[in-house]
């Protein structure tokens, strides 16, 4: 891919206008959201959207999320928004929630990878909102990482991934949530979480006053997935990632002995006893902080040439479900 000259922009109004002009001309702009940085293009311009796939090296059969500034723009791209979806948008939008809806024909097929549905989200980050408003059209935007890598959650990470690949990158500082949005599908009023995120299953069940919200398995039955993106390797730093149960921390010492000389780090939330010496210890106060800083920690550890990252598991409840989902993928399921 030929290198582009990437403009570095701030969140100031004047810069957001420049970014909107780039997008109107069919360009690519990396922008901050409250979850992770996205690489955006005009969602209604097939040519611009195809450039996203090239910049990321993303497989064509993995559809994109379309970002809108509110329900009015949303109804321009999706048919008959069911009442259940409306309830979720009322409760959690603007914010880290994506809902899969029936698409209108004006949404190009390359956005949805040929599906008849479109994933829609109303971000809450002020710069993302102002940018969409300045454009006046929806933005198709996957996470701004090269395919397979962890999503950028800081400006330096976003630049590291997309400098030379996007036309502009907006500096919005650090992302508040640090993991990608919760993706929800609603079919015949059955609600399934295709990708867990900061809007947790517990929060969704409370709002809908029901206890039967499903969590999609990582791989669908017979290799078919409802969310096409979930079948690819994801969120992987250069370092090898392995998981360990907090109750089995004593296994870390023998693992390190086997891999002598390996530059290792351990990530954990709360307090851990039995952690051996001779490895870098990264402690988070809570599962929420672990989730928020996971990708930036991966990035930092890669910079230090870490060979193996041992990630201590958390209970898969609340935000823990999203964190464990990403850790399972980053590790490819490997555990001690
Ligand atoms: O927080 C986020 O959602 C970030 C920011 C930038 O908004 N975006 C993001 O996009 O994570 P991406 O492309 O990295 O992940 C989109 C996920 C993929 O797993 C994809 O397969 C799924 O959403 N998806 C998109 N359209 C879909 C559809 N029509 N049906 C089912 N799944 C869909
Ligand atoms: Mg992604």
Segment 186-243, tens digit of pLDDT: 999 999 999 999 999 999 999 999 998 999 986 534 445 566 666 667 899 999 999 9
64: its two tokens: 């994109």
List the one residue out of 95, 110, 52, 99 whose CA is nearest residue 75.
99
CB contact burial 128-154 (16+ within 10 A = b; e otherwise)? bbbbbebbebbbbbbbbbebebbbbbb
Residue 97 is predicted with a pLDDT of 98
Q: What is the per-residue pLDDT for 220?
A: 39
Q: List the residue whose alpha carbon is closest to atom 33 of ligand 1.
A: 227
Residue in 226, 208, 190, 196 with CA at minimum distance from that of residue 88: 208
Alpha carbons 30 and 42: distance in angstroms, whole number? 12
Round to whole Å and give the CA distance between 65 and 125. Answer: 16
What are φ and ψ of residue 321, in 5° steps? -65, -40
Residue 66's pLDDT is: 98
- Crossing angle of helices 13-24 and 126-135, in 10° steps, is 50
pLDDT of residue 219: 55
What is the pTM (predicted TM-score) of this model? 0.95
Mutation test residue for ligand 1: of 49, 56, 143, the one with most atoms within 8 Å of CB = 143
Q: Which residues of the chain are modeled with pLDDT < 50?
A: 220-223
pLDDT for res 287: 97
Count of residues in the chain: 336
Residue of the nearest CA to atom 3 in ligand 1? 181
CA of 329 to the centre of ligand 2 (A): 12
Pair 330, 264: CB distance under 8 Å: no
CA angle 222, 66, 98 (to 5 degrees): 60
Q: What are the structure tokens assigned to 237, written together? A: 């730093």
Separation of CA 248 and ligand 2 centre (Å): 31
- Kindly identify the ligand whose nearest atom is closest to the C-alpha of 150: 2
Closest to 62 (Cα-Cα) out of 143, 167, 166, 181: 143
Question: Does any ligand 1 atom lie closer than 6 A to the CB of residue 229?
Answer: yes
Cβ proximity of 33 and 135 under 8 Å: no
**For a substitution probing ligand 1, which of 36, 65, 220, 231 has the most ligand atoms within 8 Å of its CB?**
65
pLDDT recorded at residue 172: 98
In the DSSP assignment, the letter for residue 228 is G
Q: Is 196's C-beta closer than 6 angstroms to any atom of ligand 1? A: no
Report the pLDDT value the prediction gives residue 21, as an integer from 0 to 100. 98
**Per-residue confidence (pLDDT) for residue 232, from 0 to 100:** 65
């Amino acid at each position: 891919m030929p290198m582009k000259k990437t403009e570095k922009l701030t969140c100031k109004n004047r810069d957001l206008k420049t970014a909107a002009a780039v997008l109107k001309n069919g360009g690519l702009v990396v922008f901050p959201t409250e979850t992770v940085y996205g690489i955006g293009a005009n969602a209604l311009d097939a040519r611009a959207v195809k450039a996203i796939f090239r910049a990321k090296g993303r497989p064509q059969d993995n559809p994109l999320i379309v970002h809108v500034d509110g329900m009015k723009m949303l109804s321009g791209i999706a048919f008959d928004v069911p009442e259940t979806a409306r309830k979720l948008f009322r409760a959690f939008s603007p914010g880290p929630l994506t809902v899969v809806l029936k698409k209108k024909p004006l949404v190009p097929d390359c956005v949805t990878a040929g599906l008849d549905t479109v994933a829609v989200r109303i971000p809450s980050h002020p710069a993302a909102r102002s940018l969409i408003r300045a454009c006046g059209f929806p933005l198709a935007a996957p996470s701004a990482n090269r395919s397979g890598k962890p999503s950028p959650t800081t400006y330096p990470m976003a630049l590291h991934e997309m400098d030379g690949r996007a036309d502009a990158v907006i500096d919005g500082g650090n992302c508040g949530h640090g993991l990608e949005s919760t993706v929800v599908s609603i079919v015949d009023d059955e609600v399934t979480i295709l990708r867990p995120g900061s809007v947790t299953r517990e929060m969704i069940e409370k709002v809908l006053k029901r206890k039967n919200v499903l969590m999609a398995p990582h791989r669908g039955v017979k290799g078919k997935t409802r969310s096409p993106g979930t079948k690819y390797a994801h969120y992987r730093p250069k370092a090898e990632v392995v998981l360990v149960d907090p109750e089995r921390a004593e296994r870390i010492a023998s693992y390190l002995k086997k891999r002598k000389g390996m530059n290792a780090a351990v990530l954990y939330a709360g307090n851990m006893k039995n952690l051996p010496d001779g490895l870098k210890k990264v402690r988070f106060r809570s599962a929420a902080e672990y989730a928020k800083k996971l990708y930036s920690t991966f990035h930092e550890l890669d910079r230090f040439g870490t060979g193996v990252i041992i990630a201590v598991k958390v209970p898969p409840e609340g935000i823990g479900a999203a964190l464990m989902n990403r850790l399972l993928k980053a590790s490819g399921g490997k555990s001690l």
